[in-house]
Chains A and B, each alone.
Chain A
C-alpha cells in the first residue's frame, strides 16, 4: 500500500495495490474510488484531503509489514 499526498493541491491518493484500475466512481464530492477488472478496490482519490482526514497523524496497528518507506 502506498499513500501519496500533494500539499500544493491538498490531494491524497491511497494506492491499495499496484494494480491499475479499469473503472472509477465518485462516491462523494471529491472522493473517487478506483476498481480493477475483477471489481476489487485498488485506490482511493481524496480531494481537499485535509478537510476530510486527519493528516497530522498516521497510526498503524498489526499490519504484516515487511518494508516501510518514507519519502
Chain B
C-alpha cells in the first residue's frame, strides 16, 4: 500500500504515545472506511474502520485534503 502523508503531530505525539495503533490500520481507514464525515468546524475528515485487534472502531482524522493523517484513536462511542 502506498504510504499516505502524515502530520508531524501524528508522528511525534500520536504514534509515540499510542504505539498499539498500526499505521497500516490508519491507511486502510482512509482508503476504505466504513464511514467518512467532514468535521464542520475545520473541514478535517473523520474516517472509521473496525479493528479486530482492538475490538473497537478506530477513528482516523485527516486534514481537509482527505489524505494527510493527523490523528487516530479508538472511538468507543461510534455507531455505524
Count of A interface residues, CB-CB < 8 Å: 21
Structural contact, A20 and B42, CB atoms closer than 8 A: no
Cβ 8 A contact of B17, one of A6, A25, A34: A34
Q: A9-B70, A25-B76, A45-B73 are in contact. Are A20 and B18 (CB under 8 A)?
A: yes
Query: In the complex, how many angstroms separate the beta carbon of B26 from the nearest chain A beta carbon?
Result: 14
Interface string of A4-39 (1 = CB under 8 A from B): 101011010101000011111110000010100000
Inter-chain contacts of A43 with B (CB < 8 A): 13, 17
Cβ 8 A contact of B75, one of A4, A21, A26, A34: A26
Which size bracket describes the interface of B in this complex?
Answer: 20 to 34
Measured between alpha carbons, how far is A34 from B41 in the docked complex, in Å? Answer: 24
Q: Is B65 an interface residue (CB 8 A)?
A: no
Inter-chain contacts of A13 with B (CB < 8 A): 9, 13-14, 17
Measured between alpha carbons, how far is A4 from B11 in the docked complex, in Å? Answer: 12
Query: In the complex, how many angstroms separate the beta carbon of B69 from the nearest chain A beta carbon?
Result: 11
Structural contact, A4 and B41, CB atoms closer than 8 A: no
Q: Is B52 an interface residue (CB 8 A)?
A: no
Measured between alpha carbons, how far is A45 from B73 in the docked complex, in Å? Answer: 10
Residues in chain A within 8 A of chain B (CB atoms): 4, 6, 8-9, 11, 13, 15, 20-26, 32, 34, 42-43, 45, 47-48
Residues in chain B within 8 A of chain A (CB atoms): 7-9, 12-14, 16-20, 41-42, 59, 63, 70-71, 73-77
